[in-house]
Protein backbone atom coordinates (compact mmCIF):
# COMPACT_ATOMS: atom_id res chain seq x y z
CA UNK A 1 0.00 0.00 0.00
CA UNK A 2 1.18 3.54 -0.71
CA UNK A 3 -0.01 6.46 1.41
CA UNK A 4 0.82 10.17 1.34
CA UNK A 5 1.68 12.94 3.78
CA UNK A 6 1.88 16.67 3.06
CA UNK A 7 3.69 19.15 5.22
CA UNK A 8 5.62 22.40 5.11
CA UNK A 9 8.97 22.15 3.34
CA UNK A 10 10.80 23.60 6.34
CA UNK A 11 9.86 20.55 8.41
CA UNK A 12 12.08 17.71 7.28
CA UNK A 13 11.11 15.18 9.92
CA UNK A 14 8.83 12.62 8.26
CA UNK A 15 9.71 9.73 10.53
CA UNK A 16 9.43 10.58 14.22
CA UNK A 17 5.76 11.45 14.81
CA UNK A 18 7.01 13.97 17.36
CA UNK A 19 4.74 16.74 16.11
CA UNK A 20 1.73 14.74 17.30
CA UNK A 21 3.07 14.51 20.86
CA UNK A 22 1.86 18.03 21.68
CA UNK A 23 -0.95 18.25 19.10
CA UNK A 24 -3.83 15.87 19.80
CA UNK A 25 -6.13 15.26 16.84
CA UNK A 26 -9.06 13.08 15.76
CA UNK A 27 -7.27 9.74 16.10
CA UNK A 28 -4.75 10.27 18.90
CA UNK A 29 -4.30 11.87 22.30
CA UNK A 30 -1.61 14.24 23.51
CA UNK A 31 1.54 12.22 24.16
CA UNK A 32 0.97 9.70 21.34
CA UNK A 33 3.51 9.53 18.51
CA UNK A 34 1.56 9.22 15.28
CA UNK A 35 2.11 10.05 11.61
CA UNK A 36 -1.08 10.90 9.72
CA UNK A 37 -1.29 9.92 6.05
CA UNK A 38 -3.98 9.57 3.38
CA UNK A 39 -4.68 6.85 0.84
CA UNK A 40 -4.34 9.33 -2.03
CA UNK A 41 -2.44 12.52 -2.64
CA UNK A 42 -5.75 14.25 -3.40
CA UNK A 43 -7.15 13.31 0.03
CA UNK A 44 -3.91 14.47 1.66
CA UNK A 45 -4.43 17.89 0.02
CA UNK A 46 -8.04 18.06 1.23
CA UNK A 47 -6.97 17.07 4.75
CA UNK A 48 -4.38 19.86 4.73
CA UNK A 49 -6.99 22.38 3.55
CA UNK A 50 -9.38 21.25 6.30
CA UNK A 51 -6.66 21.47 8.95
CA UNK A 52 -5.76 25.06 8.05
CA UNK A 53 -9.45 26.09 7.93
CA UNK A 54 -9.77 26.75 4.22
CA UNK A 55 -7.82 26.90 1.01
CA UNK A 56 -7.12 30.62 1.51
CA UNK A 57 -5.00 29.65 4.54
CA UNK A 58 -3.01 26.96 2.73
CA UNK A 59 0.66 27.78 3.22
CA UNK A 60 3.08 27.91 0.28
CA UNK A 61 6.09 25.62 -0.04
CA UNK A 62 4.36 22.33 0.71
CA UNK A 63 6.03 19.01 0.09
CA UNK A 64 4.81 15.44 0.16
CA UNK A 65 6.26 12.03 0.81
CA UNK A 66 5.03 8.53 0.10
CA UNK A 67 5.09 5.74 2.65
CA UNK A 68 4.97 2.22 1.19
CA UNK A 69 4.28 -0.93 3.18
CA UNK A 70 2.76 -4.39 2.95
CA UNK A 71 -0.89 -4.79 3.91
CA UNK A 72 0.20 -7.26 6.61
CA UNK A 73 1.42 -4.20 8.54
CA UNK A 74 -1.99 -2.62 8.86
CA UNK A 75 -5.01 -3.01 11.05
CA UNK A 76 -8.26 -1.82 9.51
CA UNK A 77 -10.82 -0.10 11.65
CA UNK A 78 -14.00 -1.63 10.26
CA UNK A 79 -16.39 1.18 10.98
CA UNK A 80 -18.66 2.51 8.28
CA UNK A 81 -19.21 6.20 8.90
CA UNK A 82 -22.46 7.84 8.05
CA UNK A 83 -22.76 11.55 8.62
CA UNK A 84 -25.17 11.06 11.54
CA UNK A 85 -23.08 8.27 13.11
CA UNK A 86 -19.64 9.83 13.52
CA UNK A 87 -17.69 8.67 16.48
CA UNK A 88 -17.27 11.56 18.85
CA UNK A 89 -13.87 13.22 18.87
CA UNK A 90 -13.15 11.67 22.26
CA UNK A 91 -14.21 8.19 21.11
CA UNK A 92 -12.00 8.28 18.04
CA UNK A 93 -9.07 9.63 20.10
CA UNK A 94 -9.51 6.76 22.55
CA UNK A 95 -9.58 4.19 19.72
CA UNK A 96 -6.38 5.62 18.23
CA UNK A 97 -4.70 5.89 21.63
CA UNK A 98 -5.46 2.24 22.40
CA UNK A 99 -4.07 1.23 19.00
CA UNK A 100 -0.83 3.22 19.58
CA UNK A 101 -0.34 1.66 23.01
CA UNK A 102 -1.30 -1.85 21.86
CA UNK A 103 1.52 -2.34 19.32
CA UNK A 104 -0.56 -4.84 17.34
CA UNK A 105 0.09 -3.37 13.88
CA UNK A 106 2.27 -0.47 12.77
CA UNK A 107 -0.51 1.10 10.66
CA UNK A 108 -4.17 1.78 11.42
CA UNK A 109 -6.48 2.41 8.46
CA UNK A 110 -9.42 4.60 9.47
CA UNK A 111 -12.29 6.04 7.42
CA UNK A 112 -11.90 9.59 6.18
CA UNK A 113 -14.31 12.02 7.78
CA UNK A 114 -13.99 14.32 4.75
CA UNK A 115 -14.48 11.96 1.81
CA UNK A 116 -16.63 8.80 1.76
CA UNK A 117 -14.91 5.61 0.56
CA UNK A 118 -11.49 7.09 1.34
CA UNK A 119 -9.15 6.38 4.20
CA UNK A 120 -6.54 7.92 6.38
CA UNK A 121 -3.74 5.70 7.60
CA UNK A 122 -2.06 6.36 10.92
CA UNK A 123 1.50 5.15 11.31
CA UNK A 124 3.07 4.38 14.67
CA UNK A 125 6.79 5.26 14.39
CA UNK A 126 7.51 3.58 17.74
CA UNK A 127 6.31 0.19 16.51
CA UNK A 128 9.05 -2.42 15.85
CA UNK A 129 7.75 -2.98 12.28
CA UNK A 130 8.14 0.72 11.41
CA UNK A 131 11.53 -0.04 9.89
CA UNK A 132 9.71 -2.12 7.25
CA UNK A 133 8.06 0.99 5.80
CA UNK A 134 9.76 2.63 2.83
CA UNK A 135 9.65 6.42 2.75
CA UNK A 136 10.25 8.36 -0.47
CA UNK A 137 12.31 11.48 -0.79
CA UNK A 138 10.24 14.65 -0.29
CA UNK A 139 8.88 16.22 -3.45
CA UNK A 140 7.37 19.67 -3.93
CA UNK A 141 3.60 19.74 -4.09
CA UNK A 142 3.10 21.52 -7.37
CA UNK A 143 -0.07 23.53 -7.31
CA UNK A 144 -2.29 24.67 -10.12
CA UNK A 145 -3.02 28.40 -10.10
CA UNK A 146 -6.70 27.68 -10.83
CA UNK A 147 -6.94 26.06 -7.42
CA UNK A 148 -4.36 27.89 -5.36
CA UNK A 149 -4.49 31.36 -6.94
Q: What is the mean pLDDT of residues 37-65?
A: 91
pLDDT at 29 over 80: yes
Query: What pLDDT was estimated at residue 13?
Result: 78
In a domain, 93, yes or no: yes
Structural domains counted in the chain = 1
Residues 29 and 97: beta-carbon distance below 8 Å = yes
Q: How do residues 63-106 score in pLDDT, each as one tens digit?
A: 999 999 887 777 776 555 544 456 788 888 998 999 999 878 89
Within-domain flag for 46: yes
Q: Encode pLDDT of 120-138 as tens digits.
A: 999 999 999 999 999 999 9
Residue 136 lies in a domain: no
Q: Indicate whether 19 belongs to any domain.
A: yes
Residue 145 lies in a domain: no
What backbone phi and psi angles, to 5 degrees, belong to 94?
-65, -40
Residue span of the structural domain in which 83 resides: 2-104+111-125
Residue 130 belongs to some domain of the structure: no
**Does 54 fall in a domain?**
yes
User: Residue 49 contacts by C-beta under 8 Å, 6 or more apart in sequence?
Assistant: 55, 58
Amino acid sequence: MIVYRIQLARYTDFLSGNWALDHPARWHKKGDKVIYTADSLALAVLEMIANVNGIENLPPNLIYVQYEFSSRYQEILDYKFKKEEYLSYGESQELGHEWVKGYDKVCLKVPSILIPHSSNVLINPSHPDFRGIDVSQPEPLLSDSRLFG
